[in-house]
Amino acid sequence: MPESAPWWKSAVVYQIYPRSFADTDGDGIGDLEGIRRHLDHLQWLGVDAIWISPFFRSPMADFGYDVADYCDVDPIFGTLDDFGRLVHEAHERDLRVLIDWVPNHTSDQHPWFVESRSSRDNPKRDWYIWVDGSPDTPPDNWKAAFSAGAPAWTWDERTCQWYLHLFLAQQPDLNWRNPEVVAAMHDTLRFWLDRGVDGFRMDVVHALVKREGFPDVDNPWLSTDRFDEPAVHERIRGFRTLLDGYPGDRVSVGEVFILSTARVAEYYGNNDELHLAFNFPPLFAPWEAAKWRKRVDRVVEEFDPRGAWPTWVLSNHDNPRHRTRYGGSEARARAAAVLLLTLRGTPFLYQGEELGLTDAEVPPERQVDPGGRDGCRAPIPWDASPLHGWPGDPWLPWPPEPDTRNAEVERDDAGSVLHLYRRLLAARRNSPALRLGDWAPLPSPDGVLAYQRVLEDDRRVVIVNFTDDSHPLDVAGDCAVEVASDGVGEGEPYSGTVDGNQAVVLRRS
**Residues with catalytic roles:** 203, 255
Provide the minimum distance between the beta carbon of 58 and ligand GLC in the complex, in angstroms, as a whole number: 11
Q: Are 73 and 82 in contact (CB under 8 A)?
A: yes
DSSP 135-194: TTS-SSS-B-TTSTT-BSEEEETTTTEEEE-SS-TTSPBB-TTSHHHHHHHHHHHHHHHH
Rounded Cα gap, residues 196 and 451, in angstroms: 38
Instruction: Report the residue number, 65 or 287, with the smaller CB distance to ligand GLC.
Output: 65
Q: Are 371 and 145 in contact (CB under 8 A)?
A: yes
Helix (H) or strand (E) holding 336: helix 330-340
Report CA torsion sign: 319, 320, 326, 329: positive
Provide the minimum distance between the beta carbon of 307 and ligand GLC in the complex, in angstroms, as a whole number: 27
- Total binding residues toward ligand GLC, as defined by CB under 6 A: 9
Neighbours of 92 (CB within 10 A): 10
Provide the minimum distance between the beta carbon of 90 and ligand GLC in the complex, in angstroms, as a whole number: 22
Scanning residues 22 to 51, which ones bind ligand GLC (CB under 6 A)? none
Among 32, 60, 102, 349, binds ligand GLC (CB under 6 A): 102
Instruction: Report the residue number, 352 or 437, with the smaller CB distance to ligand GLC.
Output: 352
Instruction: Report the residue number, 106 or 452, with the smaller CB distance to ligand GLC.
Output: 106
The total number of residues written for the chain in this structure: 509
Rounded Cα gap, residues 355 and 339, in angstroms: 16
Among 61, 87, 97, 204, binds ligand GLC (CB under 6 A): 204
Per-residue binding string, ligand GLC, 274-313, x by CB under 6 A, is ----------------------------------------
CA-wise closest residue to 466 among 231, 315, 262, 296 = 296
For residue 101, the SS3 value is strand
CA-wise closest residue to 209 among 249, 164, 265, 242 = 164
The answer to whether residue 167 forms part of the interface with ligand GLC (CB under 6 A) is yes
Provide the minimum distance between the beta carbon of 223 and ligand GLC in the complex, in angstroms, as a whole number: 16
Per-residue binding string, ligand GLC, 344-373, x by CB under 6 A, is ------------------------------
Among 31, 108, 198, 318, binds ligand GLC (CB under 6 A): 318
Provide the minimum distance between the beta carbon of 146 and ligand GLC in the complex, in angstroms, as a whole number: 6
Q: At 95, give phi and psi (nearest 5°).
A: -100, 125
Rounded alpha-carbon distances, angstroms, from residue 407 to 76, 144, 233, 261:
24, 38, 42, 35
Provide the minimum distance between the beta carbon of 280 and ligand GLC in the complex, in angstroms, as a whole number: 10
Provide the minimum distance between the beta carbon of 442 and ligand GLC in the complex, in angstroms, as a whole number: 35
Rounded alpha-carbon distances, angstroms, from residue 208 to 78, 172, 254:
29, 12, 12
Burial annotation 157-191 (CB, 10 A radius, 16+ → b, else e) = eebebbbbbbbbbbbbbbbbbbeebbeebbebbee
Instruction: Report the residue number, 203 or 499, with the smaller CB distance to ligand GLC.
Output: 203
CA-wise closest residue to 152 among 60, 217, 69 = 217
Scanning residues 232 to 261, which ones bind ligand GLC (CB under 6 A)? 255
Provide the minimum distance between the beta carbon of 220 and ligand GLC in the complex, in angstroms, as a whole number: 17
Rounded Cα gap, residues 463 and 441, in angstroms: 10
The answer to whether residue 421 forms part of the interface with ligand GLC (CB under 6 A) is no
Among 31, 33, 62, 499, binds ligand GLC (CB under 6 A): 62
Provide the minimum distance between the beta carbon of 171 and ligand GLC in the complex, in angstroms, as a whole number: 6
For residue 213, the SS3 value is coil
Q: Are 428 and 469 in contact (CB under 8 A)?
A: no
Instruction: Report the residue number, 21 or 287, with the smaller CB distance to ligand GLC.
Output: 21
Q: Are 470 and 497 in contact (CB under 8 A)?
A: yes
The answer to whether residue 65 forms part of the interface with ligand GLC (CB under 6 A) is yes
Instruction: Report the residue number, 313 or 462, with the smaller CB distance to ligand GLC.
Output: 313
The residues, ordered by sequence, that sit 6+ positions from 271 with a Cβ below 8 Å of its Cβ are: 306, 307
Instruction: Report the residue number, 167 or 309, with the smaller CB distance to ligand GLC.
Output: 167
Provide the minimum distance between the beta carbon of 417 and ligand GLC in the complex, in angstroms, as a whole number: 25
Instruction: Report the residue number, 154 or 431, with the smaller CB distance to ligand GLC.
Output: 154
Instruction: Report the residue number, 374 or 482, with the smaller CB distance to ligand GLC.
Output: 374
Spacing of C-alpha 83 from chain mean position: 20
Instruction: Report the residue number, 58 or 444, with the smaller CB distance to ligand GLC.
Output: 58
Q: Contact positions toward ligand GLC, by CB under 6 A?
A: 62, 65, 102, 167, 203-204, 255, 317-318
